[in-house]
């Protein structure tokens, strides 16, 4: 039985009068009577008993009307859900972000996102910026957040700029790096970031550090430097108010400008039209900041 036929039966059951039901359904009384006969024929049973006083439900009719009301109610529920899709944010937000952003900037943003849009889901991938670009090119995510200057022909939005510092518990001036025996703690990163550090070091000292320790995570690098094992070059986004006291020496380039690192949000135009992506960008815009510590 079609939904329209269910609505017809529900209206007849509500009015219990052919004339009133016909008026409510905007059809003629003969047309309504004919449609009712067709429905009863399909069910192979009489649904209403007609009399001059109106309509009376048969026992079988009571069962059929109960079924019809369920169909009508279910349709109304689905229509409400579809309408809500146009006003509320549903679906899965698929994002890939550079690990350092995922650790130090994104949690606050995602907390606000899930609180504001409780029906939305999140699929999150973290990794090096080069890996984030691969996920975007392979259309595995809606948006990516990377470090450095992207070679991206799609839509992009600048998120933040932070600055590089030499961090140590003992070294207070860059000149001390020429003579110190303390190890330089480095963390593995994508080639662009590593190259930036290498270029800066070469311009300053023309020779490699005397001792190095290589770790696989920036947080490990930070903790080792903060615990006095050696010195490290870290971006300001990794610093927090509750960190133990250390010396933080800003790095400068040949033009006496602070060495900085940009963060960008990237995606294809089609992805930016999705409601969950629009909602995420709205939250991001409220958290865009230039970190200058």
User: What per-residue confidence (pLDDT) applies to 239?
Assistant: 93
User: What per-residue confidence (pLDDT) applies to 291?
Assistant: 45
Q: What's the per-residue H, E or C state across 45-89?
A: CCCEEEECCEEEECHHHHHHHHHHHHHHHHHHHHHHHHHHHHHCC
Cα angle value 31/18/25 (rounded, 5°)? 60
Contacts of 190 (CB under 8 A, 6+ apart): 128, 129, 130, 131, 147, 148
User: What per-residue confidence (pLDDT) applies to 254?
Assistant: 86
User: What per-residue confidence (pLDDT) applies to 198?
Assistant: 85
Does the pLDDT of residue 293 top 50, yes or no?
Answer: no
User: What per-residue confidence (pLDDT) applies to 292?
Assistant: 41
- pLDDT digits 0-9 by tens, 155-213: 999 999 999 999 999 999 999 999 999 999 998 876 677 788 888 998 888 888 999 99
Q: Which pair of tokens denotes residue 200?
A: 């800066």
Phi and psi at residue 6, to the nearest 5°: -65, -40
Phi and psi at residue 124, to the nearest 5°: -120, 130
User: What per-residue confidence (pLDDT) applies to 194?
Assistant: 79
162 or 84, greater pLDDT: 162
Does the pLDDT of residue 283 top 60, yes or no?
Answer: yes
Report CA 66 to chain centroid distance, whole Å. 43
DSSP state of 173: S
- pLDDT digits 0-9 by tens, 101-130: 999 999 999 999 999 999 889 999 999 888
C-alpha 218/C-alpha 127 separation (Å) is 12
Does the pLDDT of residue 290 top 60, yes or no?
Answer: no
Instruction: Give bridge partners of residue 22 from the DSSP assignment.
Output: none
Average pLDDT over residues 29-40: 95
- Fold equal for 3-87 and 89-293: no
- CATH of the domain spanning 89-293: 3.40.190.290
Report CA 262 to chain centroid distance, whole Å. 21
Q: Which pair of tokens denotes residue 25?
A: 């359904």
Fold for the domain defined by 3-87: Arc Repressor Mutant, subunit A (1.10.10)
pTM: 0.68
Q: Tell me the average pLDDT of the chain.
A: 90
Range list of H helices, 169-274: 191-205, 218-226, 269-272
Question: For the chain, which residues make up each domain, given as ranges?
Answer: 3-87, 89-293
User: What per-residue confidence (pLDDT) applies to 193?
Assistant: 79
User: What per-residue confidence (pLDDT) applies to 13?
Assistant: 95
151 or 68, greater pLDDT: 68
C-alpha 169/C-alpha 142 separation (Å) is 42
């Amino acid at each position: 039985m079609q939904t329209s036929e269910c609505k017809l039966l529900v209206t007849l059951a509500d009015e219990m009068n052919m004339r009133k039901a016909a008026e409510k359904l905007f059809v003629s009384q003969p047309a309504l009577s004919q449609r009712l006969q067709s429905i009863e024929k399909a069910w192979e049973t009489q649904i209403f008993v007609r009399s001059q006083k109106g309509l009376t439900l048969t026992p079988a009719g009571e069962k059929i009307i109960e079924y019809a009301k369920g169909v009508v109610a279910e349709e109304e529920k689905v229509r409400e859900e579809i309408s809500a899709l146009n006003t509320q944010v549903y679906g899965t937000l698929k994002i890939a972000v550079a690990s350092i952003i995922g650790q130090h900037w994104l949690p606050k943003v995602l907390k606000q996102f899930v609180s504001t849009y409780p029906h939305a889901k999140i699929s999150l991938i973290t990794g090096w910026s080069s890996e984030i670009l691969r996920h975007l090119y392979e259309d595995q995510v809606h948006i990516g957040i990377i470090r450095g200057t992207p070679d991206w022909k799609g839509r992009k939005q600048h998120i933040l700029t932070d600055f590089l510092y030499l961090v140590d518990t003992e070294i207070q001036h860059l000149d001390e790096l020429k003579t110190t025996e303390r190890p330089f703690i480095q963390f593995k990163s994508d080639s662009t970031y590593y190259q930036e550090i290498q270029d800066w070091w070469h311009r300053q000292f023309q020779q490699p550090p005397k001792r190095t320790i290589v770790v696989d995570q920036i947080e490990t690098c930070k903790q080792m430097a903060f615990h006095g094992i050696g010195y490290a070059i870290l971006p300001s986004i990794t610093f927090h108010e509750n960190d133990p006291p250390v010396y933080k020496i800003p790095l400068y380039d040949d033009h006496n400008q602070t060495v900085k690192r940009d963060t960008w949000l990237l995606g294809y135009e089609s992805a930016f039209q999705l409601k969950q992506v629009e909602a995420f960008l709205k939250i991001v815009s409220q958290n865009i900041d230039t970190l200058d510590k």
